[in-house]
Amino acid sequence: MRVQFESYFTAFWRSLPLILMALVFLAVVWGIVRVVQWSAPRVLRRAGLRRALVDVLVMLATVGLWLMGGLIAVTIAFPTITPGKALTALGIGGVAVGFAFKDVFENFLAGILLLIREPFAVGDYIECEGIEGQVEVITIRDTHVRQTDGQLVVAPNAMFFKNPVTIRTSRDVRRTTIICRVPVDADIDTAREVIEAAVRDTDLVRDDVKDVQIFAREFADSSINFEVTWWTGSRPVDIRSSRDHVISSVKRALDDAGIEIPLPYRNLTFKDPLVLRRERRSGKDTEEES
């Protein structure tokens, strides 16, 4: 036992200079990493990259430097271990870790691709898989979406990478439509002009970007339905506000023009004659008609 301990001590003593050299090399790597962490964000931000993407690139550079430096330090301290053997060991271990954390790595890679491709940015209103709201934060693993009712949804990045994403605010303007009913006996051209003038006079309608469009859509039961289309801001609140103003403006304009918005009515037909009974309040006389 004593002889074995002495052999271990002798081997450690002989390897001590190499271990010290490996530690010195790791200290140099640490200095290089600090320089990269200090200078890289400034250079990348000057290039116009987003902060989240800058953080990802700096993190990948840091991990890569430490991985390379660790492999070189191991080969310096233990010359019998070659970089090939170390990479083989890391590869076998990486496969096991990859199977164990498949979903984590999937979201991680999806987050990197989303940050690089930038299909949507912080502040955009998006909709994906029933989740609709404003993007607040995009991280490596997940994306934070604030819904219009104030609730915060934290969704994995893989969901946004695999499924179609509707970006509501990809442009400054967005089209919206309502259906306006006018009586069948009304003058179609006059009704169209009244509706168009009312829509154009609304402040939230962007007729400077796209023209207001009004089409006679169909003959309904008791009316002719017009499809009224205009452009407004792309945020959800812009859509709701513009609809409120347009509907109010069109209603006032039709009332001023004497055009009544028709209400649906029904004719009821019975197969057999109905017996109508009318009773006086005294309850003494009763009449029946058919």
pLDDT average, residue stretch 199-220: 88
Residue in this structure with the two tokens 């700096």, named with its chain if needed: 58
pTM: 0.63
**What average pLDDT does the chain have?**
80
Pairing label, strands 142-147, 213-219: unpaired
DSSP state, residue 150: S
- Give helix then strand counts, H and E, for the chain: 7, 10
Give me the pLDDT at residue 50, please: 67
Q: How many CA atoms lie within 13 A of 17 on its CB side?
A: 1
Which of 253, 233, 250 is CA-nearest to residue 242? 233
Give me the pLDDT at residue 229, please: 94
Give me the pLDDT at residue 4, please: 57
Q: Give CA–CA dist 91/123, Å, rounded.
A: 40
Residues contacting residue 73 through CB under 8 Å, at least 6 positions apart = 22, 23, 25, 26, 29
Instruction: Supply 229's token pair.
Output: 């289309």
Check if the beta carbon of residue 183 is closer than 8 Å to that of residue 260. Answer: yes
Q: Give CA–CA dist 111/260, Å, rounded.
A: 55
DSSP bridge partners of 287 = 278
Give me the pLDDT at residue 238, please: 92
pLDDT tier at 248, thresholds 50, 70, 90: very high
Check if the beta carbon of residue 257 is closer than 8 Å to that of residue 190. Answer: yes
- 212 vs 275: which has the higher pLDDT: 212
Q: Name the E strands within the chain.
A: 125-128, 131-138, 142-147, 152-156, 166-167, 173-183, 213-219, 223-233, 276-279, 286-289
Burial of 145 (0-12, 13-18, 19+ CB in 10 A): buried
Note the pLDDT tens digit of each residue in 80-128. 666 666 666 555 555 555 554 567 777 778 888 887 778 888 899 999 9
Note the pLDDT tens digit of each residue in 133-183. 999 988 888 899 999 889 999 999 889 988 999 999 988 899 999 999 999
Give me the pLDDT at residue 41, please: 77
pLDDT tier at 253, thresholds 50, 70, 90: very high
